[in-house]
Every structure is written in structure tokens, then in C-alpha cells.
A = this chain, B = another copy of it.
Amino acid sequence: MRIMKHPALYEISIEQVFYALSDPVRLEIVQKLCMTDEATCSALDGGRPKSSVSHHFRVLREAGLVWTRNEGASHMNALRRAELNERFPGLLDVVEAAIQGGTGRNAA
């Protein structure tokens, strides 16, 4: 299959990570992955066109947030949790905590 670009831990920049997380579609994907460990692209597409979703997964992969492995005809995606926690401790906690908070009003 095609070679998936997965940057090494030290290649990941915080700007790129922030950028990847600034898109609502991608943030949604990441937040779902916070709770599901592993999922196919289609399980996370939210009804959006394949090409759009594929684009967003690419951004997430290249930012170092998501690891994609091959599972037959499907692609299984997972957060690079341990690595991200090592490189940017606390970041995923912030993302996870924002799930309840939503994008606008505070849940508290």
C-alpha cells in the first residue's frame, strides 16, 4: 500500500499541532479518538465526503497527532498518545477536557 508519512517525535512542532487542532472537523476527530483508541476513517467522517476526510487525516498524521496503520482494506487510526504526552505533556488533557466544554459556552 501507499507509504504513510508519520513524523518522528522530535520532528513534531507545537505550531503544527495547534494548527491541526484549530479546525473543528479535525478537533472532533481527535476528540473522538481520545475515547475510542482506534477507529477507521469512515467511522469518524461525520457524513463528510471521503476526499475531505482523507485530507484532514493527512493533516493530523503529518502534524504527528495520529498514527494510521493498515488493516486490510481499512485504515485504523489512533492517537499517538504516549508520544504526545512525552513531547507535550498536558496537551491531550486539554483537548480531552474541552470535549464537555464544547466550542462556545462553558459547561461549568
* Chain A residues packing against B (C-beta within 8 Å): 9-11, 13-16, 18-19, 21-24, 27, 87-91, 93-95, 97-98, 101, 103-106
Question: Which of B13, B104, B105 sits near A103, CB closer than 8 Å?
Answer: B13
Chain B residue nearest in CB terms to A93: B90
Contact at A13–B104, with CB atoms within 8 Å? yes
Chain B residue nearest in CB terms to A9: B106
Known: A88-B97, A94-B89, A106-B87. A15 touches B11 (CB 8 A): no
Given contacts A14-B94, A18-B18, A89-B93, list 20 more A-B pairs with CB under 8 A.
A10-B104, A10-B105, A10-B106, A11-B104, A11-B105, A13-B103, A14-B98, A14-B101, A15-B23, A15-B24, A15-B27, A18-B21, A18-B22, A18-B27, A88-B94, A88-B97, A89-B97, A90-B93, A90-B97, A91-B94
